[in-house]
Amino acid sequence: MCVHCERKLSWFENIPLFSFLFLKGKCRTCGKPIPKSYFLVELATGVIFTLVVGHSVDFNLSAIQSFRDLFFSALLIVVFVYDAKYQLILPSVILLGSTVGLFINIKYLVYDPYNLVFGALICGGFFLFQFLVSKGKWIGGGDIMLGAMMGFWLGWQAGLAALFISYIFGAVFSLALIALKKKEMSSAIPFGTFLSIGTFVVLLWGNEIISWYLRLVRY
């Protein structure tokens, strides 16, 4: 529905990207602007899905792994947008992702279940420790659940890589906002957005990143 007049939208008003452009970014009934975030999320989703499909073709991945990566990417988009907007990670999304991730990884992709469970314990436990130490001031419960889901998806090695990359993105973004005087050192940030980015990067290029790091350590 329109966020302003709450009129139920027709099918042709729900076509990603094209409807926004056709309507010139305004509701055809009340004439008020459609939030640009809708268009940006639709555009980003198209770009992300294109990257996933291109990665699947380049590495000759199976259909089930391609589906898994597309499904995971869609959930990460939901986590990113919802946490950025409301600073909330939905438990229903985490439960769905964890269940489907474990099922596909173990049944069809023959992942080591112990590696996945250990990854969930490490990544989820990492945030649980911070939650307990800070009494909920540093980390929210949603981050704990998201960390566990990351472990179920990636295993412990790739899960740690995703955490590392997420913190790099978070630090750079936060320092930029502080430098621009948009945030203060004590300001809270929706960290689920950065966990989504780190998880997506590792989901597609995790093996290459880990191999590069191991070669770097040997030198």
CA 109 to chain centre: 21
Is residue 96, in this structure, part of any structural domain at all? yes
Is residue 141, in this structure, part of any structural domain at all? yes
Q: Six-digit token pair at 46?
A: 């198209």
Is residue 121, in this structure, part of any structural domain at all? yes
Residues 6+ apart with CB under 8 A from 115: 155, 156, 157
Domain of residue 158, residue span: 62-218
As a whole number, the mean pLDDT across the chain is: 92
Angstrom CA distances, 119 to 83, 106, 136, 154, 208, stand at: 23, 14, 22, 7, 19
In a 13 Å sphere around the CA of 60, the CA atoms on its Cβ side amount to 0
Is residue 145, in this structure, part of any structural domain at all? yes
Is residue 102, in this structure, part of any structural domain at all? yes
What would the pLDDT profile of 137-192 be if each residue is shown by its tens digit?
888 899 999 999 999 999 999 999 999 999 999 999 888 888 887 777 666 788 99
Is residue 55, in this structure, part of any structural domain at all? no
* Total of domains in the chain: 1
What would the pLDDT profile of 2-20 be if each residue is shown by its tens digit?
989 999 999 999 999 999 9
CA separation for the pair 48, 182 (Å, rounded): 28
pTM of the predicted structure, to 2 decimals: 0.91
The size of the chain, in residues, is 219
Is residue 71, in this structure, part of any structural domain at all? yes
Is residue 187, in this structure, part of any structural domain at all? yes
**Beta-bridge partners for 26:** 33
